[in-house]
Amino acid sequence: MAKRVLNRRQLRDDADAAARTEPTAAPATEPAADGAPVKKKAAPRKKAAAGPRPKRVAKKKDPVRMRARWAVFDGGMKQIAVFDYSNRGAADQKLADMNAKKGGAYFLQLVKEPMPAPPPPPVAAPPA
């Protein structure tokens, strides 16, 4: 059964106190049996912590403008005809013609598609 986590601040304070009581200045050399000094390897140095990196802000893209249109579909979800949203009557007429003529399962559905980009404004010539 798992134990409950102890107070982390108290554990950190205990670890800091233990680190402070350890000897920090140890002699760099010790005499060997024959009297020649033996060098100890230096402990690896820790890299200085770099400051926090600035967060990258992603450039927000403009949302794509969509337009609604009426589409006539067959039973296999194949798009047969497309009409502007304001031409609902023409779309209903096409649907009635397809159902009467072919005898299949045709239906009308609203579809949304991205609007084409507007053309750039014409550059007017400077007056002479």
Output phi, psi for 8, to 5 deg: -70, -35
pLDDT of residue 45: 72
Residue 1 lies in a domain: no
Q: Which two tokens stand for residue 90?
A: 């023409």
The band of 62, judged by pLDDT with boundaries at 50, 70 and 90, is: confident
Q: Which two tokens stand for residue 50?
A: 């770099």
Q: Which two tokens stand for residue 81?
A: 């005809």
Q: What is the pLDDT of residues 98-114, one digit of tens each?
A: 999 887 789 999 999 99
Residue 43 lies in a domain: no
Q: Based on the structure, what is the number of domains in the chain?
A: 1
Residue 28 lies in a domain: no
Q: Where in the sequence is the domain holding 70, given as residue range(s)? A: 66-114
pLDDT of residue 27: 52
Residue 38 lies in a domain: no
Q: What is the dihedral of CA 97, 101, 106, 108, to 10 degrees?
A: 0
Residue 51 lies in a domain: no
d(CA 17, CA 15): 5
Whether 28 shows a pLDDT value over 70: the answer reads: no
Residue 70 lies in a domain: yes
Residue 39 lies in a domain: no
The pTM is what?
0.47
The band of 37, judged by pLDDT with boundaries at 50, 70 and 90, is: low
Residue 12 lies in a domain: no
Closest to 72 in 3D by CA, of 105, 113, 108, 44 = 108
